[in-house]
Amino acid sequence: MKHRLLQHAEIPPLFATELNTRYDVYPLWKEADPTAFLAQHGHEFTGYVTSARFGVSEATLAAMPSLKVISSFGVGTETLPLAAAGARGIAVGYTPDVLNDCVADTAFGLVMDVARRFSAADRFVRRGDWLKGQFPLSTSVSGKRLGILGLGRIGQVVARRASGFDMEVRYHNRRPNPSVPYGYEATLESLARWADFLVVVSAGGPETRHLVSAGVLQALGPKGYLINVSRGSVVDESALIEALEQGLIAGAGLDVYADEPRVPERLLALEHVVLLPHLASATHETRQAMAELVLENLDAYFSTGAVRAAVAHVA
């Protein structure tokens, strides 16, 4: 008999096919009234499949008294009720490492784009403006200073990418990492003041909300660029828009926003900002690897009682 799983949101077709082959999966996202469905059927499910974007609410968790495992598609954990899950002994799996390269590639692609203005130059050609004159000069990347907020798995890959451009790298974490060769800045403001490019790859959640503040942006200065491939909540979006409009920083490359998929009109109007639709991990290869790890987490739990890639519970 197959284990019964609840699926929170629509997932890639290949992943859905394999998931449904192995398990008895019910698509909660198709329910007009999920709360009423859970009140009647929540006790039937032992597993829950979700994503970093949607997570699991504590109310949903409470409505599933038989739940044993959560398997999340992504690395963000701020939408997962880790303390409540830990209190009930519910295993929580996620998909670290398999998306490091693609997210780092996106971060460095944004570094290149905001500095060299490739997207803006593409629009310049398409508008026919090249017939009227030359595109303005841009900023070089090679040999510049790259600051990284959050030197975790992805941050360290970004740092390695920077070495190919002869960039000096420094970082800011809650504490120094003695195993890395990069310089540590004790405050985010000092890192921003030093950097030509400030790349945000920290975790989301309440602890990092608006960590990139108006003061940090002021420290980054009129020749500095902000890159965010983390979570929109880490940056004070209103302060960022003000800084961009007033020329307090040189530009920004953004893959994430405060209220996705809604992007502020004021950001859309700015030529020195590159805007991506939260696609950092969105390649066929990476999404396939993430899907496989979601399945491996479920398979491992139901065969051994432990997921392969576990999120640490919060006490």
Whether the Cβ atoms of residue 112 and residue 141 lie closer than 8 Å to each other = yes
**Burial class of residue 190 (count of CB atoms within 10 Å of its CB; 0-12, 13-18, 19+):** middle
For 51, phi then psi, to 5°, come to -135, 165
**CA-CA distance, 167 to 169, in Å (whole number)?**
6
User: How far does the chain reach from its first CA to its final CA, in angstroms?
Assistant: 34
**25 has which bridge partners?**
5
For residue 252, what are its two tokens? 């920004």
For residue 233, what are its two tokens? 């909540």
Report, as residue numbers or ranges, the catalytic residues. 231, 260, 278
